[in-house]
Amino acid sequence: MKIQSFSFLYKNNVASIESGDFEAGGYKWILRLYPNGDLKKNVVDHISFYLVISGSAYFQDGWELNAFFRLFLLDQIKGTYLVLEDANKKVKCFHGKMLYSGFDQFIPLESFVDPSNGYLIDDTCVFGAEVFVSEKSRIVREDCLSMIKNPVMYQHAWKIEKFSELKSGYFSEAFKAGDYKWKILIYPKGYGLGKGSHLSLYLGLSNPKTLPPGSGIFAAHCVRIVDQKHTKHVFVKGYNCFSASRLAQGCQRLIKLDLFRRAGSGFLKKDTCLVEAEVTVHGIAKAL
């Protein structure tokens, strides 16, 4: 996974980034990297780096997968690798409650940015992994993540009239942000965990199938239901990778339906709902 303009990530406090899917042993995986450390685990001053099994939602209940792996970082001066693996070289068991494994403190940031170590050259670095599942052959794939130095935020407003007549998921017209087309998806009666109790709201690529295989778009996004009376909008936001395998990002339980429909709340006025989206494309990941 080649990352360009790495300084953008930690200077802008980007929580994490992911590679595109790659295959090993007949299964799909991704690499997940925390430029400023995994804050949920109270990691600071280090880079956190993990191997994650992808597409686990499609596995049968009770599934398990045993794999041995190494994670590495390229020294671009010497042409060698900093390699981390389990101290006892044990096989890791991945399952429904353990979808990833790796190193909370993969490398100190001070060592990583030191130019004499060769890890970060011209603001570019290369991370990677070797994954062994059973006795099957290794499959090698490379990704390049190019960060956009001066990203532009795009906005889109969507007015939904006769909202009470909507029965199921409803798409906005496509709109352009960062050379890609996007759409907003709203479920007026909820979706998934929010079905029947909450309004659900998502942002997604308009036609992800047009993306090259294995590529992804890293974007900061915010989608909100406008409070037309009190300006106390409800919203979902994040920084995520959008791809053919990760079609949309959003929230199943954005707002309770009784609050949304309540007279005087401001979210539904004259049976009209206003939805706004903000999208900033920060990087593009492509398979080399």
177, containing H or E segment: strand 175-177
* Residue 149 near residue 8, CB atoms below 8 Å: yes
Q: Give the model confidence (pLDDT) of 131-157 as tens digits.
A: 998 654 344 566 777 888 888 999 999
Q: Structure tokens of 273?
A: 């709902």
Task: In the chain, list all ranges with CATH 2.60.210.10.
Answer: 2-147, 153-287
CATH class of 2-147: mainly beta
**Phi first, then psi: what are they for 152, rounded to 5°?**
-115, 135
Q: Does domain 153-287 have CATH number 2.40.50.140?
A: no
Tell me, what's the pLDDT at 104?
Answer: 96
Give CA–CA dist 159/169, Å, rounded. Answer: 15
Do residues 76 and 54 make contact, with C-beta atoms less than 8 angstroms apart?
Answer: no
Q: Which residue type is seen at 2?
A: K
Give the three-class secondary structure for 220.
strand
Which regions of the chain are under pLDDT 50? 136-139
CA nearest to 111, candidates 193, 47, 31? 47
